[in-house]
Amino acid sequence: MPNYLDRIQDAATRARELEEQLLDPDVAKQPGAYEKLAKELGGLRPLVETGGRYRTVLTELEDARAMAEDSDPELAELARGEVERLESERGELEGQLAGLLAPRDPLDEKDVILEIRAGTGGEEAALFAADLYRMYLRYAELQGWKVEPMSSSEMGSGGLKEVVAGVAGKDVFRRLKYERGVHRVQRVPTTESQGRIHTSTVTVAVLPEAEEVDVAIDPNDLRVDVYRSSGPGGQSVNTTDSAVRLTHVPTGVVVQYQDEKSQHKNKAKAMKVLRARLLEHEQERAASERASERRAQVGSGERSEKIRTYNFPQSRVTDHRAGVTLHKLDQVLEGELDELVDAVHKSVTAAGDPDRDVP
């Protein structure tokens, strides 16, 4: 039987320390520090609560085993039933503790930059990009996360060429990191008169949001260009140099924003995405697993490169990594993703390689 008691006690002690620090008026005056401590405490609570119940069960189990040796046959019989129940609960709790105490990706608690782009399939791919964006919005709502739209490029049909949004909340990267890749859709477009099924793709990238302490950007390595925004918008959007393009010269990473009327706001949003992309770039370089920064998550967008297929005629969703098929496409598109997300996490954990190629 694994001995979790010492680690449970350490977690409980740390949780009490954090609670005391959060009550410190000086900490409350520092939003960044307060948020960091609160997030750490929130991450410890499931372990502390599960650990508390585990310790209670061990105590009750010891008492029940002693009673099972009682000279009163009826009392001993009741105690043996209680021992059986408690041993079953202990096993369940140990399974939960194993997961809670398993080494975690240090990025798991990060907020993310979610990028969705139409791939192969033209207008139909753009329409599905809009469907996927709505799906993730609904999932975020169900999870209690906050979504901040950052930029989008729309098509007249109602589709999206691309959309970028920030997603903030508890365990956002942990839940979304395996959503990155090529999502394939099979359905009959509304413009198809012969009823033929078309296959299109959408690429999804999930970048852990990087803070300044995670990625140091030397101002000398950064080229900042400002220019006049293009496309529809108010007078100030189209007549002032409010659009911003940032180029990180050493890596060649380029980010540009023009959605806001303010040059300052556009630059702030561009910096947030630039830090996230540079963090991703550094992780890939250190791992030496892929040839290019963006291909790590989305490949080339070809139909053959897919992590998941959404088949509308059969109301079917298949995740090709977990080997799981669900016949409830409508519910999935309404944000009910937990079953798929959990299956992929289990599959990846069993394989022991979170970044393995999808067959």
Q: Which residues contact 93 (CB under 8 A, 6 or more apart)?
A: 50, 53, 54, 57
Spatial strand order of the sheet with 181-187 comes to 146-154, 160-168, 112-118, 198-208, 181-187, 308-311, 316-319, 324-326
Structure tokens belonging to residue 145: 């996360």
Is 96 exposed, middle or buried (CB count within 10 Å of its CB: 0-12, 13-18, 19+)?
middle
135: closest CA among 310, 313, 354? 310
Strand order from edge to edge, sheet including 253-257: 222-227, 243-248, 253-257
For 199-251, write each residue's pLDDT tens digit.
Answer: 999 999 999 887 665 677 888 888 988 887 665 444 444 556 778 889 999 88
Domain layout of the chain by residue ranges = 5-101, 112-212+292-351, 219-287
Give pLDDT, residue 351: 66
The structural architecture, per CATH, of the domain 219-287 is 2-Layer Sandwich (3.30)
Give the model's pLDDT for residue 239.
Answer: 53
In the chain (359 residues long), the average pLDDT of successive 10-residue segments reads 82 94 89 84 91 95 93 91 94 87 79 93 93 97 94 86 92 92 91 81 91 74 82 50 86 84 85 86 63 51 74 96 95 96 84 46
The encoded tokens of residue 87 equal: 């041993």
Cβ(140)–Cβ(171) under 8 Å?
no
Q: In Å, what is the CA distance from 186 to each residue of 84, 301, 308, 341? A: 50, 15, 11, 21
CA dist 91 and 346 (Å) reads 19
Task: Give the architecture (CATH level 2) of 112-212+292-351.
Answer: 2-Layer Sandwich (3.30)
The tens digit of pLDDT for each residue in 140-163 reads 999 999 999 988 898 878 899 999
Asked whether 257 and 269 are in contact (CB, 8 A), the reply is yes
Topology agreement, domain 112-212+292-351 and domain 219-287: no
